[in-house]
Structure 1
Amino acid sequence: MTSMLLSRLHYPVHNLGFGRRAGIWFQGCTIYCKGCVSRDTWPFEPSSGVRIDEVAQWLRSIPFDAIDGVTISGGEPNDQPVALTELIAEIHRWRSCTTQPIDILLYSGRTPRELGDRFDWMRGNVDVLVSGPYIAAGATDCALRGSANQIVHTFSELARTRYPADTLESDYSGQRRDISVHVDAESIWMVGIPTDGDMRKFEQQLASRGVDLRRTSWLT
């Protein structure tokens, strides 16, 4: 079974897509967007390797009636194309066991042109693709996107129902500003797409309470 470099798994995720979601973050990225809030996912760390079937087992532990979708991000998932292909195949096998509608939403910092044949493959294997690098100068409040250049592609009827085009330019389902911050034994990290200044305000609020941030997902 193929392995992937994994940054983290998290459930439930209440942003980065419709409803309650499972989040899978790849570890490793070669795009290096200036202003990226997930710089901790850039290094390709061999110690973060896990087998795809272990990730699938984690997904199977989530009851079907408690999940609406899976969001895959990073890092850059397409920097590990074999692992990404096998992961999505496992997700398809898992969701085929239920009639519960579960969408797959994939983030990639690459444009459709850069993805080439991979873009055509994604068209048939994911429901939603958010493509394009993050450009800090184009930061926006648009739903699901960090900057205005990024494109939300909907490839299935489920996606077009859950992510209608006329809502993608607005604060989709109130989720755009829903930033979650999580604390574990080693670090603080966030889930969501912050607007300009959000993280700076958060740091200031923590500092006022005597919390010294040494490592988070938006600082290295």
Structure 2
Amino acid sequence: MDELLVSIIHYPVYTLGPGKRVGIWLQGCSIRCKGCMSVHTWEFDKSKAIKIEEVADILKSFGCKRLTISGGEPFDQNEALKVLLNSIREFFDDILVYTGYTYEYLLSKDKDLLKLIDAMVDSPFIKGLESELIWKGSENQRFFLFNESLSKDYLPWIKKRKEKILQIVEQKDKIIMIGIPYQKDIEVLVNEEL
């Protein structure tokens, strides 16, 4: 496994984790939650394949020690993800992963992979189960901190309420929204496009 399907890489990211971060969204998702704001990341598009070594070099090139991995579904590429994480683990002090799988499922599938990350938001997005918290799209989603040394950064962050602040960035030929909006707000944006 020497390639990873990547939707986008962006720096800086301010809306998915505490502090200024590098963000990578992997391409491909088998979960496909109803109401997902990232449907463009669902297909396992082979044209988005990048050598893992190249991905690692790009992520480290920003000089930022904090990383957020989202998707798509990162754990749908678990072998490639493990190779990537092993190659960048010493560089990054804080690796946060968003997943639609539950912690319990991932623990039974590949607990060694979880040892390579510092924090995780788990569980599928559920439309209609609104959350007021900045870090989750639906109330069922949970936060796990595996690296207790990051408590001073994460504990205040997981208590923050949504402030309707998102990042809007232009990348190549597309406009990208980074962050987790209120469900009702994303519905308005989607309906405006139709």
Fold agreement, TM-score > 0.5: yes
Output the CA distance in 2 between the equivalents of 1:60 and 1:81. 20
Corresponding position: 1:76 with 2:76: no
SS at structure 2 position matched to 1:138: coil
Output the CA distance in 2 between the equivalents of 1:33 and 1:182. 24
Corresponding position: 1:155 with 2:137: no
Long gaps (5+) in structure 2: none
SS at structure 2 position matched to 1:136: coil
Corresponding position: 1:112 with 2:99: no
Q: Which residue of 2 aligns with 1:188?
A: 175
Output the CA distance in 2 between the equivalents of 1:82 and 1:167. 30
Deviation per CA, 1:71-121, whole angstroms, max 9, x where unpaired? 0000001100111101111221323xxxxxx30000110012322334632
Q: How do 1:20-59 and structure 2 match up within 5 A? A: 20-59=20-59
Q: Which residue of 2 aligns with 1:143?
A: 134
Question: Normalised by the size of structure 2, how large is the TM-score?
Answer: 0.89
User: Which 4+ runs in 1 deviate beyond 4 A?
Assistant: 200-204
Question: Mean Cα displacement is larger for which, 192-201 or 33-42?
Answer: 192-201
Give the fraction of aligned pairs with identical amino acids, expressed as a percent: 36
The answer to whether the 8 A contact 2:130-2:183 is kept is: yes
Given candidates 164, 167, 170, the residue that maps to 2:160 is 170
Long gaps (5+) in structure 1: 96-101, 208-212, 215-220
Output the aligned Cα RMSD: 2.2
The answer to whether the 8 A contact 2:67-2:94 is kept is: yes
Q: Which residue of 2 aligns with 1:60?
A: 60
Output the CA distance in 2 between the equivalents of 1:177 and 1:91. 32
Question: Normalised by the size of structure 1, how large is the TM-score?
Answer: 0.80
Deviation per CA, 1:50-88, whole angstroms, max 9, x where unpaired? 01111111123212xxx3510000000110011110111
In the alignment, residue 54 of structure 1 is paired with which amino acid?
Answer: E
Output the CA distance in 2 between the equivalents of 1:20 and 1:192. 13
The structure whose Rg is larger is: 1
How many aligned residue pairs are there? 194
* Distance change >3 Å, CA 21–CA 44, structure 1 → 2: same
The answer to whether the 8 A contact 1:103-1:158 is kept is: no
